[in-house]
Amino acid sequence: MIPTKDTLLVTRAGELDDWGRPTGVVTDTYKCRIDYNNQIVMTTDGKEVVSKAVILIKGEAVISNEDSVSWVDAFGTHVAKPLTVGLLKDVSNKVIFTKVVV
């Protein structure tokens, strides 16, 4: 299997209050593997952008494109919005990894 030694923090904002500030912020922490590579990907709204990393989370993780993801490595702290989120399944249709491209 793929080792998951990195830690990813996913921040989900709730509803906006009367002043436009998010309320009910929820954070989740996942063990993951982060691979850095630049590639051109198509976002959900049809734009072509350059990604900087691919994140693999073991199992099924609930992450949307509106969430914010952050992680710390030897280069510092990184904060990004997911460009694409998908599930990787085996031949029996069981979810093995959640793939997040940032």
Within 8 A by CB and 6+ apart from 96, the residues are 58, 59, 88, 89, 90
Nearest-angstrom CA–CA distance, 90 and 69 = 26
In a domain, 1, yes or no: no
> pLDDT (tens digit, 9 = 90+) per residue, 74-89?
889 999 999 999 999 9
65 domain-assigned:
yes
pLDDT, one tens digit per residue, over 14-67 is: 777 788 777 778 899 999 999 999 999 988 888 999 999 999 999 999 999 889
pLDDT in the model for residue 44: 81
In a domain, 68, yes or no: yes
Residue 13 lies in a domain: yes
Residue 62 lies in a domain: yes
Full-model pTM: 0.87
Can you give the pLDDT at residue 45? 84
The total of structural domains in the chain comes to: 1
* Residue 49 included in any domain: yes
Q: For residue 80, is it within any domain? A: yes
Does 95 fall in a domain?
A: yes
Q: Which structural domain, as residue segments, surrounds residue 66?
A: 6-101
Helix then strand then coil, % of the chain, to nearest 5 = 0, 60, 40
